[in-house]
Amino acid sequence: MAAPAAGPAMAVAGALLVLAAAVLCSPAVAGEAELSTGSSTRRQVVPAIYVFGDSLLDDGNNDFLPPAPKSVPPNGVDLPRGVARRTGRFTNGYNLADIIAQHLGFKMGPPAYLSLTSLSSLDLLRGRVGANYASGGSGILDTTGNGTITLREQVQLFVQTKARIIRAGLVCRERLDRRLGRSLFVTGTGGNDLVTFGKGGVPKSEAPEFIAGMVANYIKHINELYKLGVRRLAILDTVPVGCLPSRRATTANGECDAGVNSLSRMFNALLRVEMAKAVAESMPGLKYSIASLYNILSDMIANPTMAGLREVEIGCCGGGKFNGEVDCTAGASLCADRDEYLFWDRAHGTQAAYRRAGLAFFYGPARDADPINLDQLVREPSMAPAAYSAI
């Protein structure tokens, strides 16, 4: 028996639903106009930024994790008064996530995922602005960090985020995939894993195997993000860990710890090799840039005057030798000329150093960012959404 014909009211309702779906997913609506979000009048180059990593990128997640290391005052001392939370970042002002976002037209980096409320999640649920999943003290390996969000867990939070966006229905699946394909994903981690290895009393002969395991885990998590629709990825390699004030404080003459720096170089080199191989074999369409924090900070240390810095060995805030033996807290010594320091505390850079690094990420030569720099990365044509997706 034939199905009954729809009445006039049902026909109108159906037509409205079809029209609404067409508007939500119309390519014309998904053009440049959707890049201007929030109250900022600056043109935003990408729809959203999603951040994964450790304390170089964390902007407040650890505030919601009782066992995790906290960023307490005077951290954030140089943030503008309009920034609600003066802590959250492990530096005196904006961190690397903020500075990358500012180069792309945002006022600052995306909000810490754990800080989001039902109201402040609306942009995220529209596939805009993005979120920061980074956690200070975390690492690539689940065994690194105490009470932090490991990289594996950060990726799972993004899995949950994408599922929430789809359930919310504020943006259709087709447009969400387009927005994710045009968004920038940023990750920077591995330094804490290397520090843990260096302190563990493990023979240096086991370093190649340890680092190979780190890189394999890293690539696996990046591949998971790829399957979720990531097509533009910025990776920050590890800093010269041996030159941090915390490491200088342990050497006989206060020089950089060459042995620890060799671990950083080994990791960074293998990451580049394995990343290129993985993209060629299993991640077609992924465009990426590896920004060399190692080279950029090493150049600042070797030529501070060229970088516009005066002090490249001692932390601005802390205590003990090189201000590298005590964390930056309210009772720690604090320098006044923070814009002239490379290091903010025993393990992190200053806002001034990060701003210089950001310029190198975006506009520097291959020594600073390869195989393309971040400016070239975000100017690449929009990538096609994933043909398959984990969600």
Domains of the chain: 44-311+349-379 (3.40.50.1110)
Cα–Cα distances (Å) from 98 to 36, 107, 272, in that order, read 17, 8, 25
More confident residue, 390 or 279: 279
Q: How far is the C-alpha of 248 from the C-alpha of 240, rounded, in Å?
A: 11
| High-pLDDT (> 70) share of the chain, % | 85
Biggest CA-to-CA distance, the chain: 92
pLDDT at 11: 42
Which residue in this structure is represented by tokens 């950001």? 358
pLDDT at 381: 75
Which residue in this structure is represented by tokens 């014309």? 28
Say which DSSP state 173 is in: H
pLDDT band at residue 23 using 50, 70 and 90 as cut-offs: very low
Q: Which amino acid is at 112?
A: A
Tens-digit pLDDT profile for residues 190-220: 999 999 997 876 788 999 999 999 999 999 9
- Residue length of the chain: 391
pTM reported for the whole predicted model: 0.89
Residue 13 pLDDT greater than 60, yes or no:
no
Say which DSSP state 245 is in: H
Tens-digit pLDDT profile for residues 249-279: 999 999 999 999 999 999 999 999 999 999 9
Tens-digit pLDDT profile for residues 364-375: 999 999 999 999
The end-to-end CA distance of the chain, in Å, is 38
Say which DSSP state 131 is in: E
* Mean pLDDT (whole number) for 143-170: 96
Tens-digit pLDDT profile for residues 294-330: 999 999 999 999 999 999 999 999 999 999 999 999 9
Cβ-contact 246, 189 below 8 angstroms: no
CA 251-267-161 angle, 5° bins? 115
